[in-house]
Amino acid sequence: MTLSGKAPKIGGLGLYAVFYLAFIYGPVLFLPLFSLNDSTFISFPLKEFTFKWYVEAFQSERLMASLFNSVKVGVPVAIISTILGTLAAKAITRYRMPGKTPMMSFLMAPLVVPGIIVGIALLIIINRVGIDLSLWTIGIAHLPACTAFSLWIMISRLEGFDRSLEEASLNLGENAWMTFWRVTFPLILPGVIASLLLTFTISFDEFILAFFLAGNEPTLPIFMWSQLRFPAQLPPVLALGSLILIASFVLVYFAEWFRRRGTHLESSSGV
C-alpha cells in the first residue's frame, strides 16, 4: 500500500491490516452499490445502472422534511454543545480545582451510559413535566452526549495550549473576553471546527435517543427506520443513506483534518 511506504517489511500484520480495513469499510460500500442498481430487490446479479432512486428520494416531501428537521436539530446542538464543551475544557485544563477527577467522570458519563437508558429516562421526565415531544426534546437529548464529545475533543486541544499566552495577553492590558477572542479562540479554532463538524454529524445521524423523544416531526434516521419495514421503499432509502454516508465521511474527514492541522501548526511554532 502506498500509505505504509516500504511494503515488503510489513508482512503478515500488514496483510491483516488490509483485511481489517476491508472489514470496516466493505459492508458499508454495499449501500451506494445497490442504490445505483435498477431493481427493487437488493440482490445479485446487478441490473442496469440508474440514478432514479436518488431522484425518487428527493421527490419525497416527507423525506425532505425529515432531512430539514435533522438539520434544524443538528446545527443548534453542534453550536451549543461546542460552546459548552469548550468552556468546560477550558476550566478543566486551566484551573486547579478541587474534585476535578470525579467531575470529569461525571461530564463524560453520557458517553458510556447506554443510549436507550438515557432515552427512556428523558422520556419519563419530559412526560412528567408535561412537555410535548418535538424537535426540541430531541435536541435536548442530543446535547449531553455531544457536549461530552466536544469536551473530549477540546481537552485534547487545550492540553497542549501554552497557558502563558493568555497570561501574556492579560498582562498586556486586555481583559478576559478580548484575550479569548484575540489569543485563545484563534489558537483553538481548528478544535472548534472539528467539534462543530463532529457534533453535528453525531446529532444528524443519531437514532436511539430520537426514537424515544421524537414527536410527530421525524428526523432523518427516524424516517429511514420507518421505511426499512417496506421493501419497496428500500432503494430510495439506500440512495439517501449513501448520500448521508458520503456527507458524513466528508464532514468527519474535514473535522479530523482540522484537528490534525491544528496540532501541526502548534508544534511547528515551537512555543
Partner 1 sequence: MVDGTAPKAGSVSGAGTGRPGLLSWWRQLYLRSEGVRGYSLLSPTLLLMVFAIAVPLLLLFVASFWTQHLLDITPTFVFDNYLTFAEKDSYQKLLWRSLKISGFVTVLTLLLAYPMAYFIAFRIKQNKLMWIILITVPFWTSYLLRVFAWKIILGYNGVINSGLLTLGWIQAPLEFLLYNQFAVVLTLAHAWAAFAILPIYVSLEKIDRTLLEAATVLGDGPVMRFFRVTLPLSMPGVVAAALLVFIPTVGDYITPALLGGPKGLMIGNLIQLQFAKANNWPMGAALSVISLLAITLVVCAFLWFSKRVRTQNL
Partner 2 sequence: MANESFISIQDVSKDFGVVRAVDRVSIDIAQGEFFSLLGPSGCGKTTLLRMLAGFEFPTSGEIFIDGQPMSSVPTNHRPVSMVFQNYAIFPHLNVSQNIGYSLRKDRLSKADFNAKVGEMLDLIKLPGYEKRASHELSGGERQRVALARALVRRPKVLLLDEPLGALDKQLREQMQLELRALQKSVGITFVFVTHDQEEALTMSDRIAVMSKGRYLQIDTPTQLYESPTSRTVADFIGTMNFFEAQVKDAQNGRAHIDVGPLGSLSAPLRQQKFAAGQRVLAAIRPEKIALLAEPKPGANQVKGQVDTAAYLGDRSHFYVRIEGIERPVAVSAQNMQTAGPGVGDPDRQVWLSWAEDAVVILNADD
Residues 100-119 contacting partner 1, CB under 8 A: 103, 106-107, 109-110, 112-118
Q: Up-side HSE of residue 47: CA atoms within 13 Å toward CB?
A: 11
* SS3 label, residue 97: coil
By a kind-dependent CB cut-off of 5 to 8 A, residue 219 interacts, out of partner 1, partner 2, none, with none
Residue 58 near partner 1 by CB under 8 A: no
What are φ and ψ of residue 174, in 5° steps? -85, 150
Q: How many CA atoms lie within 13 A of 24 on its CB side?
A: 5
**How far is it, in rounded angstroms, from Cα 267 to Cα 271?**
8
Residue number with CB closer to partner 2 (131 or 178): 178
**Cα-based distances in Å from 1 to 9, 11, 18, 23:** 12, 12, 9, 17
The torsion defined by the Cα of 180, 183, 189 and 195, in degrees rounded to 10, comes to -40
Residue 99 interacting with partner 2 (CB under 8 A): no
* Window 195-254: residues binding partner 1 (CB under 8 A): 198, 201-202, 205, 207-208, 212, 221, 224-225, 228, 241, 244-245, 248-249, 252-253
x/- letters, 115..154, toward partner 1 (CB under 8 A): xxxx-xxxxxx-xx-----------xx-xx--x---x---
Instruction: Output the CA torsion sign for 172, 177, 181, 184.
Output: positive
Q: How many CA atoms lie within 13 A of 257 on its CB side?
A: 6
> Phi then psi for 129, rounded to 5 degrees?
-70, -25
Shortest CA distance to 110 belongs to which of 209, 224, 3? 209
Of the ranges 50-58, 180-188, 205-213, 228-236, which one interacts with partner 2 (CB under 8 A)? 180-188
The minimum distance between CB 201 and partner 1, in angstroms, equals: 5
186 interface partner picked from partner 1, partner 2, none, CB below 5 to 8 A per type: partner 2
Q: Taking CB within 5 to 8 Å according to partner kind, which of partner 1, partner 2, none is near residue 101?
A: none
Segment contacting partner 1 by CB under 8 A, of 57-65, 99-107, 162-170, 183-191? 99-107
C-alpha cell at 217: 416531526
In the complex, minimum distance from the CB of residue 144 to partner 1, in angstroms, rounded to a whole number: 5
Residues 34-53 that bind partner 1 (CB under 8 A): 34, 41-45
Nearer to partner 2, 26 or 160 (CB): 160
Residues that bind partner 2 (CB under 8 A): 96, 162, 164-165, 167-175, 178, 182-183, 186-187, 265-266, 268-271
